Chain A
Amino acid sequence: MRKLTTSFCTVGLLAMFTASPVVADNHAEQIALGKAVYMGKSRGNCVSCHTIADPDAKLAGNQGPPTLSMKARFPDKAKLRAQIWDATKNNPLTIMPPLGKHWILSEEEIDAVVEYIYQF
């Protein structure tokens, strides 16, 4: 129960933080970058395997689970980041490329894609 309250608080705090006007600009830029990475064929190309409720997501594949309820599934954002950085840690056979470990994306791009998908 305590864990539950904590994660609710975290989500709440995060929502307040991200909504604050001071960081809005920077955050909007980061989300735009994250979206470009998610959709870009020679960048993250996440959309090739993960559907997402973004009207700009065209021809999404379904090799991986859909990108939804990210906050509920990953209350700890750092764990979501780690999953993108190297999904083989949790499942050595996964088809998902280790986007960070194999330096397919830069660390900044990974941060950005985390911010982008955390909205869904």
Chain B
Amino acid sequence: MNKGLIIAIVLIVAVVLFMTQSDKKEVSEPAMTKAPPPVQVEPSPAEPAAPEVSLQEAFEMNRAMYGKGHSFAWNGEQHTTDHPEEIEASKEATQANAEALLASAMAKNAEVAKLGFEWKLTGDILKKAQQSIDQGNFQQALNLAAQAKYHARIGIEQYHYAQANWHLSVPE
């Protein structure tokens, strides 16, 4: 009897240890990020996020966890996890709208190129968007232009992040 009980206790302790270990593993890395690491906040989609989380952080956390087309509350307001570029691409698929989005995507890409942070595939995506317009496939053109514009915008973000943080990986 006693033996069985001991074995059971040992087993439970082992399982609990294992679980807490694996939990630890998950949070040990976030300790290095800027406080507070968003993954630790864990708001359910319906709950408002903690006020110290910026809208951008809340957006990224929700997009990261649930993908696009998901809504979340932040600071008492409802938001969706769609990128602004995706929202632009959901306009009516007309030639005028496709051309306007493509033009703004090209301008954004010129901006990131000037900073020396243009991405490799963006130029091709822009070309394909133009081809789609030429072929009358305006929805595809909108989608491609949105992706290129997003790439350019994140490239600009990446540039600014690099300016402030490049030194972190230098051996000292």
Identify the A interface with B (CB < 8 A): 1, 3-4, 7, 69, 72-74, 78-79, 81-82, 85-86, 89-93, 100-103, 107, 110-111
Inter-chain contact A81/B64, CB cutoff 8 Å: yes
Q: How far is the CB of A108 from chain B (nearest CB, A)?
A: 8
Nearest CB of chain B from residue A77's CB, rounded to whole Å: 9
Known: A73-B25, A90-B39, A92-B165. A4 touches B154 (CB 8 A): no
Q: Does B113 contact A (CB under 8 A)?
A: no
Residues A110 and B16 in contact, CB atoms below 8 Å apart: no
| Secondary structure class of chain B's binding surface, majority of residues | helix
Structural contact, A92 and B64, CB atoms closer than 8 A: no
Chain B interfacial positions (CB closer than 8 Å to A): 15-16, 18-19, 22, 25-26, 29-30, 32-33, 37-39, 60-61, 63-68, 147, 150-151, 154, 165, 168-169
Given the complex of chains A and B, what is the CA–CA distance between A82 and B168 in angstroms?
23
Given contacts A4-B15, A92-B168, A93-B168, contact A85 B33 (CB under 8 A): no
Select which of B19, B22, B33, B151 is within 8 A of A91 by beta carbon. B33
Q: Which residues from A are CB-within-8-Å of B168?
A: 92-93
Q: Bound state CA distance, A78 and B70, in angstroms?
A: 13
Given contacts A85-B64, A100-B64, A107-B67, contact A79 B15 (CB under 8 A): no
Distance between B23 CB and nearest chain A CB, rounded to angstroms: 8
B16 lies within 8 A of A89 (CB): no
